[in-house]
Amino acid sequence: MSQPALLVLEDGRSFTGTSYGATGETFGEAVFTTGMTGYQETLTDPSYHRQIVTQTAPHIGNTGINDEDDESRKIWVAGYVVRDPARVPSNWRATRSLDDQLQAQGIVGIAGIDTRALTRHLRERGAMRAGISTEILDPAELLKKVLEQPAMAGADLAEQVTTADAYVVPAEGAKRFTVVALDLGIKSMTPKRMAERGIEVHVLPATASLEEVLAVNPDGIFMSNGPGDPETTEHPTTLLKQLLEQGKPYFGICFGNQVFGRALGLGTFKLKYGHRGINQPVLDRATGKVEITAQNHGFAVAWPGRENQRSAVDAPLDGPVETPYGTAEVSHVSLNDNVVEGLKLTGRDGRVLAFSVQYHPEAAAGPHDSAYLFDRFAELMEGRN
């Protein structure tokens, strides 16, 4: 029988439920994700490192866990919050239940709470520190420990999730290009999407030097998603500046978009509650098409004139910005809140040199509206060869 469990937010709001997964206590930033499918991919996404994830979909665990859909080597969430966990998984690919997997990896969770009320609270008050415990059931006592935890703002986490050693994902079929992917928290589906397009991907740690990158003799550079505050990520930003100076084609997603913005001289800021889910509408300003995208980020790029982002979210995004490497402009925009969702850099020769998006075009659980961006990256490298 499940033990009682307690969830406490840093502003004192508390929820009582039952233990789900491992017992004990855990702390992190409380966030919510709106995806109705893909919970296995969510749990194993390194971008969720040090976050307590709430699923807004009420029924979680229906399809169990399989051995094929993990996006990395382990579950990264700090804690897990669901309303109505499946009693028995039902899927031909399942090898075990979600509850068993959480227990096996020591992930403390809570079930049976009003996740709608929690989500509404986080939307109104913003993402915040939280704790889940099966050991401390007094809200005031658990709150004291929550308030001792570090905030996500200022957290430098990429080196905690990156690969320890470089590895290669070979191209499928005839090899067309070689790409260096800097692992800031990369998901396994990302190099696979490139490999499907004839790209040999050399995945390097977040600490890789310029010399190590150039030793691969890459046709292009990629920077992945990842956790933490982009303002703390000095090494990848400096590395990208050096690579842009050499005219290397660049593609970045999620955290890689924020690093790109900082390399171009732009700022970043923390969103109130972030964008997390697989139903986020984004406008591609070049084509006028709307993509339904998968997202997971709590920070975003601040365009000039939007430095005080909370009060200037409606400031115009039109107009280019001159950088040391060429002309930058906003390529994609969120249709929910007008946040910058993509950047494009045009070199002095008039050709596109680099681009990035704030979402996940590789999304394994879908949607796949944005998969064309990997083709765009291949075209960019082709034009530079």
Residues annotated as part of the active site: 254, 360, 362
Could you tell me if 30 and 9 are in contact, meaning their C-beta atoms sit under 8 angstroms apart? Answer: yes
Which residue pairs, CB below 8 angstroms and at least 24 apart, start in 320-328? 321/264, 321/265, 321/266, 323/264, 323/265, 324/245, 324/265, 325/244, 325/245, 325/264, 325/353, 325/354, 326/353, 328/264, 328/266
- Find residue 381's DSSP bridge partners: none
CA of 372: how far to CAs of 197, 255, 346, 364, in Å? 11, 19, 19, 14
Could you tell me if 293 and 225 are in contact, meaning their C-beta atoms sit under 8 angstroms apart? Answer: no
Tokens linked to 231: 């303002």
**Residues in binding site:** 47, 226, 228, 255, 258, 296, 298-299
What are the b/e assignments for 58-87, b being 16+ CB within 10 Å?
eebbbbbbeeebbbbeebbbbbbbbbebbe
How many whole angstroms separate alpha carbon 254 and alpha carbon 232?
15
Identify the CA nearest to 182 among candidates 207, 156, 146. 207
